[in-house]
């Protein structure tokens, strides 16, 4: 089921990561992973596992690189010479990989973004970078949907923003209830996307049937 969130005066863009100096060292992180391997019942010193703590730390640097990125900065690189273009701009099917903050399990899916320009447009690659900046953090899908939408609305100041995310959650498919094939769909509509049914309908028509593409 999708949800449409009301606009809020909340600084969704302003979530700041922990300062680098306050984080554990790489050596401490690797020791923690050795402890988890031991706790799981294996030997971190055997040949196949010897480099695993270092590999996992390197993987974490990639998976959670969003903490070192500023989504607002991407959105500030705009263009105003658009010959008065004020129709909907839509970027659909932005693939992402994230991790659930409850179980650290992968969330894999795609984001559809639409906005109605006021006086500025942004390069399409910047929209994808905003998605990645939020996805590469510990996440909840509902929160990520709102973060992307409010970041675009706050910085670009369009007449409206629509964001739809469809994703599968490995915390549901590989543990717990073990229900593969389930797609979660969330949405945030702001400005004209919320207030004008025709604008919302046009956006949803352009992106197609949310959830269907992940079921194939």
110 to 19, 23, 97, 127: CA distances (angstroms): 29, 31, 8, 13
* Catalytic entry in 100, 142, 170, 202: 100
* Catalytic entry in 103, 157, 170, 202: 103
* Catalytic entry in 28, 102, 195, 215: 102
Distance of CA 132 to the CA centre of its chain: 6
Based on the residue annotation, tell me whether 169 is a catalytic residue of this protein.
yes
Structural contact between residues 138 and 101, judged by C-beta atoms closer than 8 angstroms = yes
Based on the residue annotation, tell me whether 81 is a catalytic residue of this protein.
no
Which residues, at least 6 apart from 32, have a Cβ–Cβ distance to it below 8 Å?
Answer: 24
- Residue given tokens 């449409």 in the structure block: 4
Based on the residue annotation, tell me whether 178 is a catalytic residue of this protein.
no
Based on the residue annotation, tell me whether 102 is a catalytic residue of this protein.
yes
Task: Compute the Cα dihedral for 197, 198, 199, 205 and give only its sign.
Answer: positive
* Catalytic entry in 110, 166, 169, 192: 169
Q: Whole-angstrom Cα distance, residue 137 to residue 67?
A: 6
* Catalytic entry in 69, 157, 171, 202: 171
Based on the residue annotation, tell me whether 28 is a catalytic residue of this protein.
no
Based on the residue annotation, tell me whether 99 is a catalytic residue of this protein.
no
Structural contact between residues 159 and 118, judged by C-beta atoms closer than 8 angstroms = yes
Based on the residue annotation, tell me whether 110 is a catalytic residue of this protein.
no
* Catalytic entry in 139, 141, 153, 192: 141
* Catalytic entry in 69, 72, 97, 101: 101
Q: How many helices (H) and strands (E) does the chain have?
A: 9, 8
Q: Tell me how long the chain is.
A: 216
Q: Give the active site residues.
A: 100-103, 141, 169, 171
């Amino acid at each position: 089921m999708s949800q449409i969130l009301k606009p809020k005066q909340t600084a969704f863009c302003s979530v700041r990561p922990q300062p680098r100096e306050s984080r554990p060292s790489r050596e401490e992180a690797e020791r923690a992973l050795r402890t988890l391997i031991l706790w799981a019942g294996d030997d971190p010193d055997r040949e196949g596992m010897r480099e695993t703590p270092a590999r996992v730390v390197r993987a974490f640097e990639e998976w959670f690189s969003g903490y070192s990125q500023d989504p607002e900065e991407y959105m500030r690189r705009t263009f105003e010479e658009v010959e008065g273009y004020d129709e909907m701009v839509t970027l659909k099917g932005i693939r992402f990989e994230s991790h659930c903050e409850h179980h650290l399990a992968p969330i894999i899916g795609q984001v559809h973004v639409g906005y109605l320009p006021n006086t500025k447009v942004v390069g399409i690659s910047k929209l994808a970078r905003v998605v990645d900046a939020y996805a590469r953090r510990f996440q909840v899908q509902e929160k990520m949907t709102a973060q992307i939408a409010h970041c675009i609305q706050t910085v670009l100041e369009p007449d409206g923003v629509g964001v739809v995310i469809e994703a599968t959650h490995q915390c549901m498919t590989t543990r717990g209830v073990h229900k593969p094939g389930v797609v979660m769909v969330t949405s945030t509509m702001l400005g004209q996307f919320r207030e004008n049914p025709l604008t919302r309908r046009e956006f949803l028509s352009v992106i197609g049937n949310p959830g269907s593409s992940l079921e194939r």
